[in-house]
Amino acid sequence: MYKKLLVGISLVLCAAAAHAGGIDKLKQFVAATHSAQADFSQVLLDPNGKKMQSASGTMQFVRPGKFRWVYQKPYEQIIVGDGAKFWLYDLDLNQVTVKRLDAALGSSPAALLSGNNEIERGFTLKESGSQDGLDWLQAVPKAQDSSFDRILMAFNEQAELVIMELHDSFGNKTVLRFSALKRNPSLSPQLFKFVPPKGADVMGE
């Protein structure tokens, strides 16, 4: 369940107007951010708000369609989108899962962060107000087969992504918090290439 969650999350991964709402800040973020890198922490809460699992790691992306999420704790996993394929490497199991990128992403958080600029083709956006200095929006996937019912995103005054909340159909909530965000860093193309390690089991396409 936990490792499936990591995949879901990974299929799953960033000068605003003074009073811009969450939707405006999302659009500013997407328009002005060609690449990004950040640290993240991830917590899974059950419908009663009880913490079930936690994880942490780093994420990087170059739009469109290239990303790298590295889960460091509690399990080591590497998730890479190379623009054409989605790769998931589980170091514990020495197992690689590969899929077509478009089939793996769909209407997912990764589509919001590393997809193209046409956000509203895949999501219905709605303002969700301001709290603690952050402007929130709700993104509801238009596709019926999305892993999540809705995604909430919070941006700070600089239109930087701070929090994502992913709500599934079972009432669970996954909270991703980003820190040390760098926008438009120069990232090596090698980060977004993946070659299965020798001896690893490769499943999928």
Domain CATH number, residue 122: 2.50.20.10
Q: Does the structure show a pLDDT above 80 at 45?
A: yes
Which residue range forms the structural domain that includes residue 54?
2-187
pTM of the predicted protein model: 0.81
Q: Is 200 within a domain? A: no
Count of the separate structural domains present in the chain: 1
pLDDT of 73 reads 82
27 within some domain: yes
Q: Look at residue 28 and tell me if it is in a domain.
A: yes
Q: Classify residue 196: in a domain, yes or no.
A: no
Position 13 scores a pLDDT of 43
Would you state the torsion angle of the CA atoms of residues 163, 167, 173, 179, taken in this order, to the nearest 10 degrees? -10
175-180 CB contacts, 8 Å cutoff, 24+ apart: 175/42, 175/43, 175/45, 176/9, 176/13, 176/40, 176/41, 176/42, 176/109, 177/40, 177/41, 177/42, 178/14, 178/38, 178/39, 178/40, 178/59, 179/38, 179/39, 179/40, 179/41, 180/38, 180/39
Residue 120 placed within a domain: yes
Query: Do the domain assignments include residue 105?
Result: yes
Q: Lowest mean pLDDT: which of 3-7, 24-28, 100-104, 141-145?
A: 3-7
Residue 192 maps to a domain? no
Residue 62 CA to residue 23 CA, distance in Å, equals: 21
> Is 197 among the domain residues?
no
